[in-house]
Amino acid sequence: MIKSMTGYGRARKTLENRDITVEVRSVNNRYLDCTVKLPRAYVFAEDAVRKHVQQAVSRGKVDILFSIDSTGADTAKVTVDRGLAESYAAALRDLAELCGTEANIYPETLARFPDVLNVTKAEEDLDALGADICLVLDEALSAYNTMRALEGEKLAADIGGRLDAIEALTTRVEERSPETVAEYRRKLTARMEEVLQSASIDPQRILTEAAIYSDKVAVDEETVRLRSHLSQLREMLGSDEPMGRKMDFLIQEVNRESNTIGSKCCDVSIAQVAVDLKAELEKIREQVQNVE
């Protein structure tokens, strides 16, 4: 089933004491335009994020927003500068000897001196962290695609109904077209009888004129192609592959056939059918702009 290009998905998960939230939203766009917003400390994962998005989305303007709270994951490592501590201890003993007192040196005393204790942040496994980020992203993309599929069902139902309407209008054109030739023949005969009055009318001349007119207003080829395009559009509505661009191209072809039908037919009723056909076609065109 086709998917809409408009959708929203959200996922939140706590991994390795990190609270990771991902939001995915998109609107219509001719091509895939992906914007990734990651906290500065996690921009290393942007390429991996884009690859995951490209696997799930073919086109649309997609915004990916990350919120990562790593307060619970912050780990610190405390180390002792033994050489510096020994130097401070030796200096304290020298002071005690100079003052003639006993040197009572305790760890907490040495810890107060600058740079004896060094606090460093534990080194992180960036590959594992990037995998965690993409895991939550995949859940958000799954919710996002579910919403797009639901919207796609509605689009397919609406487009399918309008294709039914266009087929019905095409049938009316096919039924009415031969009648226009017969009516032209009757009118032509009456006109020639009025002009020539008592003079005899050549039946072959009437047939020739009617045949020429029939060739000019015949829309058989157009209606056959039109029905073929409509059939292809129906098949695309049930496809799991992105079909938006192909559908847009076929809509242009249907529009070309409908324009030809409208220009060929001089009959008022067919002209009105052609107008109705183009109105339905325009509504389909608007809906197809939302199809991925």
Q: 32: domain CATH number?
A: 3.30.230.10
The answer as to whether 235 is a domain residue is: yes
Are the CB atoms for 23 and 9 separated by under 8 Å? yes
Q: In this structure, are 160 and 213 located in the same domain?
A: yes
- Is residue 104 very low, low, confident or very high in pLDDT (cuts 50, 70, 90)? confident
Coil/strand/helix, residue 166: helix
Instruction: Show the domain range for 114.
Output: 76-121
Given 87, 113, 148, the domain boundary residue is 148
Q: In this structure, are 168 and 259 located in the same domain?
A: yes
Q: In this structure, are 155 and 283 located in the same domain?
A: yes
Q: Which residues of 215-232 are buried (b: 16+ CB within 10 A; e: fewer)?
A: eebebeebbeebbebbeb
Are the CB atoms for 173 and 219 separated by under 8 Å? yes
Q: In this structure, are 203 and 266 located in the same domain?
A: yes
The answer as to whether 2 is a domain residue is: no
Q: In this structure, are 11 and 142 located in the same domain?
A: yes
Q: What is the pLDDT of residues 30-71, one digit of tens each?
A: 999 999 999 998 999 999 999 999 999 999 999 999 999 987
Q: In this structure, are 271 and 187 located in the same domain?
A: yes
Predicted TM-score (pTM) of the model is 0.71
d(CA 159, CA 287): 7
- Is residue 259 very low, low, confident or very high in pLDDT (cuts 50, 70, 90)? confident
Enter the DSSP assignment of 291: B
The percentage of the chain sitting over the pLDDT mark of 90, rounded to a whole number, equals: 53
Q: Mean pLDDT, to the nearest integer, of 157-169?
A: 94
Coil/strand/helix, residue 37: strand
